Structure 1
Amino acid sequence: MADSKQPAPIVRQQSPLNVEYPFSRLSDWLIPNDQFYIRNHFPTPRLTVPDWRLTVTGAVDKPLSLDLDALKAMPKTELAAVMECAGNGRVFYEPAREGLQWQDGAVGNALWSGVLLRDVLAEAGIRTNAVEVVLVGADRGVVDAGKKTASPGEIAFARSLPLDKALSDSALLAYAMNDEPLMPEHGFPLRAAVGGWYGMAWIKWLVEIRVVAQPFTGYWQTRDYIQWDRTLGEPMVAPLTTMNVKSQIAQPVNGAIVEAGRPFRIHGAAWSGEAGLGTVEIATGDDAPWQPATLVGPAAPHGWRLWEFIWTPPAPGRYRLKSRATDALGNRQPETPQPDRESYAANWVIPVTVDATAGPEEPADNFVI
């Protein structure tokens, strides 16, 4: 149940359940479990600990079948990481793109606890011909029935990781979220947590790890959650992987009223993929210079950073506020939509328009759904 002191999450779809966090209410580094966004493609599997097993198969020396107690007996690791749905911000595409019309709340930061994927793979023994690790969830169904993009019958939600990512410090098999057991909607009893990658790689209700000797070309790898790569000239399908650098304004919301001559706190969150976040900047008008925001709160290699900027509107009028992030390698958040991303990876700057008035306004509940 959601905390009664917090706004209810925004339901984007009832069946299967898809729920968005009200990003304008951002206040803490970690998003509470009952406020965290939910992305489902199929109905939530109802798994029980006594019956659940995780199998490790494929190009391994010793196939495994592990219960939850066996995983919890292995060394525990914690990973503070932001997870963003690849479709976050889709509503801002013009013209509209197909898919759930997420605003800015299909993203959240949490503390994930569990076992490093590489420790499980080490117990199984990876063969020298292995190239990828496929993660398979218990959720299954038919996709786009009757359409050209239909799945070949019922399929599981499955994605692969390249071997180097699977063996990294940021690929976790998580059984806890913010120091609590996973909720069913968040993948109980076990899910993947893949720092720096979009949420489609964070397989929920994990039941199989399959080590493969050739690149995985399953439905969710090559038909959905894709973009176009033009490095060889003609566009080629490429699976989405790492998150693009991004900053979002939580407050004020679009259409808010502020008081001219009075300091106002602009704040939000920013994140990146593998490179880590560098800086966040704010502009208080289309022709205004970019100025550095202050990064506040905890920092972690794969977590988001909260930021703030104290702004005093100089005079009554309308202002377009913008934030942009730059990662540690110098990749900067673009100001316009980028090509070849289908309906995904909407990381361009989204301005927030506010009106500054000459006198104090009645307090307003600045919240957008």
Structure 2
Amino acid sequence: MADPKHHVVKPYLVTRRLHPENQETPIQFIENDRIQTSLFYRRNHFSYPNLTYSNYFLPINGMVNTPLLISLQSILQLPSKTVEVVLECSGNKRSLFEPKVFGEQWGKGAISQGVWKGVPLRTLLEISGIKEAAKEVVVEGYDFGKRTDLDKVFSYTRSLPLEKAIHPDTIIAYEYNKQPLSFKHGFPFRLIVPQWYGMASVKWIKQISVMASPFNGPFQKIDYMYYPNLENDDGAHPVTTINVNSTIQKPLDMAKINTGKHVIKGIAWSGKGNITHVEISTDNGHTWSKAQVSASKSSYKWVSWSYEWNAVEKGIFSILSKATDSSGQTQPIKPYRNRNGYGYNAIDNIKVMVE
């Protein structure tokens, strides 16, 4: 019989839904900056697609001089680019909205990061030659299903403005953490769009089309829009760049701890620049102290931070974390309220009991 003292307990994904599969990273138990594939969050609108890879070709069409049908092998032979990027679902932390909003009730784990390798989308667009009238690049995935709101079948399809599509770090990825991209995360190819929420990083790429007019598919113009008014669509605008944010990983929310020294630790990230500082409050926001933040030269990654707290008194304490980025944005006290519950980034807040 195995010795229970030597039994290694490992974290595993937190299931939010089975059909389609939506699971989040156990972010409170993550110790490093690169999330292994098995713990990378899974966000699906539909069932996984049925694909055969033996004869995979990627069409590039629309407002291009030379439409292409490029093979998987040819893409793998093109000059590659490697980027370390955080991907965050725009619905991350949706369950924290008060009052509640409808949608997948994500906790704090619809976020993961690692190293992606692939071909810049720009390279493929340059090979096909973009016409002068081009405005957007539409990327269609193989995943599809019926939308009950429209009573019609759609594939998951999104567009990028041309300037974002041709950014050198927007890549068509085929590797993650030096391993072939897993099927559940988009094999053989997925788009990676740094600094934007994960809905832009289309999986299982089926085709790429360059357009002269705005794309109006339902995942572009109905979903992934901020609707600030609950009753109507006034003021609607698209979800794009990741908001400045932070998450406390340790201690756990509602934990009981002893008096003495404790390390409060977590992560912080933003789509609008580097994290410049993280502040911690152990008295529900009355006073703030600066945490130690790990240095990062990349604005595409989260940073780790830590703060040593000497818990002298017994009682219930609210611990808060507040991040600020290089564009001057700081986490707000209250989140931006919107109908679909996107972009939650209020100051993180947990409670502990000191005994």
Provide the residue aligned with 1:335 in structure 2: 333
Contact 1:133/1:166, CA 8 A, preserved across alignment: yes
Provide the residue aligned with 1:326 in structure 2: 324
Provide the residue aligned with 1:354 in structure 2: 352
Which of 132, 136, 161 aligns to 1:132? It is 136
Could you tell me the percent identity over the aligned residues? Answer: 35
Give, in angstroms, the shift of residue 257 of structure 1: 1.6
Give, in angstroms, the shift of residue 152 of structure 1: 5.1
Provide the residue aligned with 2:4 in structure 1: none
Secondary structure in 2 matching 1:122: helix
Looking at structure 1, the residues matched to 120 and 82 of structure 2 have their Cα atoms a distance apart, in angstroms, of 9
* 1:335-366 alpha-carbon deviations (Å, 9 max, x no partner): 11223363111111231100112xxxxxxxxx
Task: Kindly indicate whether residue 124 of structure 2 is the aligned counterpart of residue 120 of structure 1.
Answer: yes
Provide the residue aligned with 1:45 in structure 2: 49
Task: Kindly indicate whether residue 15 of structure 2 is the aligned counterpart of residue 21 of structure 1.
Answer: no
Provide the residue aligned with 2:156 in structure 1: 157
Looking at structure 1, the residues matched to 60 and 321 of structure 2 have their Cα atoms a distance apart, in angstroms, of 44
Alignment of 1:45-194 (within 5 A): 45-143=49-147, 145=148, 150-151=149-150, 153-194=152-193
Provide the residue aligned with 1:30 in structure 2: 34
Secondary structure in 2 matching 1:221: helix
Contact 1:29/1:297, CA 8 A, preserved across alignment: no
Looking at structure 2, the residues matched to 56 and 110 of structure 1 have their Cα atoms a distance apart, in angstroms, of 28
Looking at structure 2, the residues matched to 165 and 274 of structure 1 have their Cα atoms a distance apart, in angstroms, of 14
* 1:191-239 alpha-carbon deviations (Å, 9 max, x no partner): 0111000010010001111110011111011111111479xxx933222
Q: For structure 2, list consecutive stretches of 5 or more residues without a partner in the other structure.
A: 1-7
Looking at structure 1, the residues matched to 151 and 121 of structure 2 have their Cα atoms a distance apart, in angstroms, of 30
Taking structure 1 as the reference length, the TM-score comes to 0.90
Looking at structure 2, the residues matched to 66 and 214 of structure 1 have their Cα atoms a distance apart, in angstroms, of 25
Give, in angstroms, the shift of residue 307 of structure 1: 1.0
Alignment of 1:224-239 (within 5 A): 224-228=223-227, 235-239=234-238
Contact 1:159/1:220, CA 8 A, preserved across alignment: yes
* 1:15-65 alpha-carbon deviations (Å, 9 max, x no partner): 111111111102101111100100001111132321222111110001111
Task: Kindly indicate whether residue 293 of structure 2 is the aligned counterpart of residue 292 of structure 1.
Answer: no
Aligned length: 345
CA gap of 1:161–1:42, structure 2 versus 1, over 3 A, is same
Looking at structure 2, the residues matched to 287 and 190 of structure 1 have their Cα atoms a distance apart, in angstroms, of 45
Looking at structure 1, the residues matched to 70 and 94 of structure 2 have their Cα atoms a distance apart, in angstroms, of 38
Q: For structure 1, list consecutive stretches of 5 or more residues without a partner in the other structure.
A: 358-369
Looking at structure 2, the residues matched to 67 and 35 of structure 1 have their Cα atoms a distance apart, in angstroms, of 30
Secondary structure in 2 matching 1:72: helix
CA gap of 1:27–1:354, structure 2 versus 1, over 3 A, is same
Contact 2:272/2:327, CA 8 A, preserved across alignment: no
Looking at structure 2, the residues matched to 341 and 242 of structure 1 have their Cα atoms a distance apart, in angstroms, of 18
Task: Kindly indicate whether residue 304 of structure 2 is the aligned counterpart of residue 306 of structure 1.
Answer: yes
Taking structure 2 as the reference length, the TM-score comes to 0.93
Give, in angstroms, the shift of residue 151 of structure 1: 2.9
Matched letter for residue 251 of structure 1? K
* 1:97-146 alpha-carbon deviations (Å, 9 max, x no partner): 11111000000111111011101110010000001111110001111x2x
Contact 1:90/1:97, CA 8 A, preserved across alignment: yes
